[in-house]
Structure 1
Amino acid sequence: MTAITDDLPALLIHQEHELWEAMRHGDGGTHLQQAMTPDAVLIDDGSLVERSAAIVALDGTTWGAATMSDQRVVRLGDRAAMLAYRLRGTRGGEPVDVWATTTYVYSEGRWRVGAHQQSPAAD
C-alpha cells in the first residue's frame, strides 16, 4: 500500500490498538520509537511533548485496560489521515476517559504517527 485505500480505517485502528497493547505492557516508548515520524509530537495534560521526550516518558509506563470506541478516520490527502476515537481505561489505577486523535502520515513505506492528542471526555 502506498497511499489512502479503502482498508485504511481498519489498518489505522489496528495500528492504534497495537500501541495501546504496548502501553499495557510498559513498551509504549519502544513501540513509538518505531511508529513515530522523526518530528512527531504528543499533546497530553496541557503539554506538548517532543518525540524523544515522549519515548523516554512512556517506556515503562503501564496502563490497565484500554478500550477504543467511536472510531472515525478523516482523510487528509493522499498520504495523511487522522484517527479520532474515545479511549476508556486505567492508568496508575485511576480511570481514564478521553477523546484522542492520532494523525498518521505515509512515510518510509508505512503509516507513521505524526501527532497524538488526548482531551478529557465529558459525558
Structure 2
Amino acid sequence: MAENPPPTITYDDFARVDIRVGTIVDAKPFPEARKPAIRLWIDFGGALGVKRSSAQITVHYAPDRLIGRQVCAVVNFPPRQIGPFMSEVLTLGMPDENGEVVLIRPDFTVPDGGRLF
C-alpha cells in the first residue's frame, strides 16, 4: 500500500525545529515507563548543557553501552512528563525492518551542541 506524500513545508518551517547533537553522559533503565525505555542524560554543551530524555531503545541498546555516544535530538519541544521522569528533549531515531528504534548520530565526532542544517 503506497503512502501519501508528506505535505510540502518551507525552509522556515524546518528551521523552527532545533535539532542538536549531544553526548550521552549517563543512561539508566526506566522500569516505570509503560513501554520499555532508557533514561538518558545528554550533554549538548554551552548554554543548553545536560538535558534528559526517555527513549524506547531497549531492543538495540543497553544503558552502559550508550555512555559516550553522540546522538541527535530535538531540543525545542516543551518538556514532557513520562511517568516519574521529565523528558526535556526528543532523541531521534529511525525504525529498523522490525520497527525498532535505531539512533540517529553523526558519522564523525562533532562538537556537542552543533545544529543540524
TM-score range, shorter chain: under 0.3
Q: TM-score, normalised by structure 2?
A: 0.28
The structure in which a higher percent of residues are strand is 1
The structure in which a higher percent of residues are helix is 1
Q: TM-score, normalised by structure 1?
A: 0.27
Which of structures 1 and 2 has the larger relative contact order (alpha carbons within 8 angstroms, sep 6+)? Answer: 2
